[in-house]
Amino acid sequence: MTRTDWIPHRRDDGELLGWILQSGEDWAAIDVLGRPASEATEWLDAEIALEEHGIAWLADAWMLEGEGDRPLRVRIVEVTPDDESTPGRIVVKVDDFGDVTRPPTQQFVLPWPVPDRLRPPRDGDPDAYTISR
């Protein structure tokens, strides 16, 4: 759960990049999925870490484990961090490769912060270009 001492850090256009929180005498950056984006460092370095990390990576393909015999290729549809009254959530959908003519794909609602079963692709994961049975 985001805590009241987590300080939001936003882009110039107002989009949330993450939070900065006190870590001992230093500061640490947390991205919008609730993962560390920097180690304990100076405030400005934590800001830089979030700026460099950005949010474009949210549009990348991700892998969701535990829904079948092999990981599913998914895309993030929504990230809603916890607030004081409501638990957050991350919504992903089975990757439709941007095809707007096909029926909507299955969605999965995950807790926030990001669970370990939602992860970036690794070597050996199913890809979009290989058909297997």
Confidence of residue 125 (pLDDT cuts 50, 70, 90): confident
Q: Report the pLDDT value the prediction gives residue 102, as an integer from 0 to 100.
A: 84
Confidence of residue 21 (pLDDT cuts 50, 70, 90): very high
Confidence of residue 120 (pLDDT cuts 50, 70, 90): very high
% the chain with pLDDT above 90: 74
**CA nearest to 39, candidates 48, 29, 31:** 29
Q: Which helix (H) or strand (E) holds 133?
A: none
Q: What are phi and psi of 72, to 5 degrees?
A: -95, 140
The residue ranges of DSSP E strands in the chain, in sequence order, are: 7-10, 16-23, 26-31, 61-64, 72-80, 89-94, 107-111, 118-119
Q: Report the pLDDT value the prediction gives residue 63, as an integer from 0 to 100.
A: 96
Confidence of residue 84 (pLDDT cuts 50, 70, 90): confident
